[in-house]
Amino acid sequence: MMKNMAKPGSGPSKSVWDERQQQSYHTINSRAFNLAWTLLLLSFLVQVVLFPGEPGRWLVEMGLFMVLSIYMGAAYFRAGLWTMRSQQPSLRQSLLASVVAALLITAFSLIRMAVSGQWEGLQQADNAWSIISYLLLQAIIVFAAALILLSLISHYHRKKQREADAALDTDE
């Protein structure tokens, strides 16, 4: 069993796995990461809904979720991967992702408000207007922030792609 392992300092180690085994390994790791990411997101959301006034209960999950999300986004970006359907970013994709982000945040806020009892005074016109305007303003801010961020990332992605294409053209 030890004979297949490379000695430290002896150069790059050769894998004893064939391509199919390596692909299976990467698939298993990808599914495990996606499962952990999803469960961490769900844990964070449930704790925020159940304990909105106690950030100490959910700050760690939020931090870990943000670290994993930033790592995943940066890794995809560095590898030149945009979506499974498209190699290049588009305004349509950015608009769609921004709308989805705004709708998800609004739905989450509605659920959190319902669980925390903030709907009790909804019958009063002033309170209803303030809740609706808060949700609308929140949705607009999330939409704008997501669209700006995605636009900046797609601009940078296109710039890096052009540089890579130019480097390939000069090599030929």
Segment 15-27, tens digit of pLDDT: 788 889 889 988 9
Instruction: Say if residue 92 is in the same domain as residue 24.
Output: no
- Residue range of the domain that includes 90: 86-172
Instruction: Say if residue 167 is in the same domain as residue 126.
Output: yes
Give the model's pLDDT for residue 103.
93
Boundary residue ending a domain (55, 79, 103): 79
Instruction: Say if residue 119 is in the same domain as residue 160.
Output: yes
Distances, alpha carbon 33 to alpha carbons 26, 27, 91, 142, 161, in Å? 10, 10, 29, 26, 28
Give the model's pLDDT for residue 112.
80
Give which of 135, 117, 108 is closest to 47, Cα–Cα: 108
CA 123, 129, 131 angle in degrees (round to 5)?
85
Q: What is the pTM of this model?
A: 0.66
Give the model's pLDDT for residue 13.
62
Instruction: Say if residue 127 is in the same domain as residue 157.
Output: yes
- Residue 155 domain flag: yes
- Residue 42 domain flag: yes
- Residue 71 domain flag: yes
Give which of 159, 149, 165 is closest to 93, Cα–Cα: 149
- Residue 132 domain flag: yes
Instruction: Say if residue 40 is in the same domain as residue 116.
Output: no
The CA-based dihedral angle spanning residues 148, 77, 101, 116, taken in that order and rounded to the nearest 10 degrees: -110
Give the model's pLDDT for residue 160.
80
Question: What parts of the chain have a pLDDT lower than 70?
Answer: 1-13, 82-87, 118-126, 171-172
- Residue 145 domain flag: yes
Instruction: Say if residue 24 is in the same domain as residue 45.
Output: yes
Distances, alpha carbon 97 to alpha carbons 10, 77, 116, in Å? 47, 16, 28
Instruction: Say if residue 92 is in the same domain as residue 75.
Output: no
- Residue 13 domain flag: no
| Domain count within the chain | 2
Boundary residue ending a domain (79, 94, 117): 79
- Residue 123 domain flag: yes
Instruction: Say if residue 42 is in the same domain as residue 114.
Output: no
Give 147-163 pLDDT, tens digit per residue.
999 898 888 888 888 88
- Residue 8 domain flag: no
